[in-house]
Amino acid sequence: GAGVSQTPSNKVTEKGKYVELRCDPISGHTALYWYRQSLGQGPEFLIYFQGTGAADDSGLPNDRFFAVRPEGSVSTLKIQRTERGDSAVYLCASSSTRTSGVFYFGPGTRLTVT
């Protein structure tokens, strides 16, 4: 079946602009995660959804970052007033308890803030 998909694959934006990144998880996976990966680093946790609700948003760096998952499937990560330091690959992952908690990652969105 289809894996996790993310759009766009690349996004270049100017400092101060607003961006939205979309994640479409594997069908039936109730858990959805957003991670951020900077060059040469491991992924860093941003936010976790169980169903429609954000069960843990402790990784969001500040209030410019927000994420929603209104129908318990697709999720959107929103970044306001982007800064150059927001440049990274944003990864989405979904999981199911039926798969021993393994995360299935999407291809990522490479965000570049100029």
Partner 1 sequence: ELKVEQNPLFLSMQEGKNYTIYCNYSTTSDRLYWYRQDPGKSLESLFVLLSNGAVKQEGRLMASLDTKARLSTLHITAAVHDLSATYFCARPGGNQFYFGTGTSLTVIP
Give the footprint of partner 1 on this chain (CB under 8 A): 33, 40-45, 48, 55-56, 59, 91, 100-108
37 vs 76, which CB is nearer to partner 1? Answer: 37
Report, in Å, the least distance between residue 8 CB and partner 1.
15
Sign, CA dihedral 7-80-84-48, equals negative
C-alpha closest to that of 2 among 36, 29, 32: 29
Report, in Å, the least distance between residue 78 CB and partner 1.
20
12 vs 102, which CB is nearer to partner 1? Answer: 102
Report, in Å, the least distance between residue 16 CB and partner 1.
28
Amino acid of residue 3: G
Amino acid of residue 82: T
Compute φ and ψ for 57, nearest 5 degrees: -115, 25
- 34: number of Cβ within 10 Å: 28
14 vs 58, which CB is nearer to partner 1? Answer: 58
19 vs 48, which CB is nearer to partner 1? Answer: 48
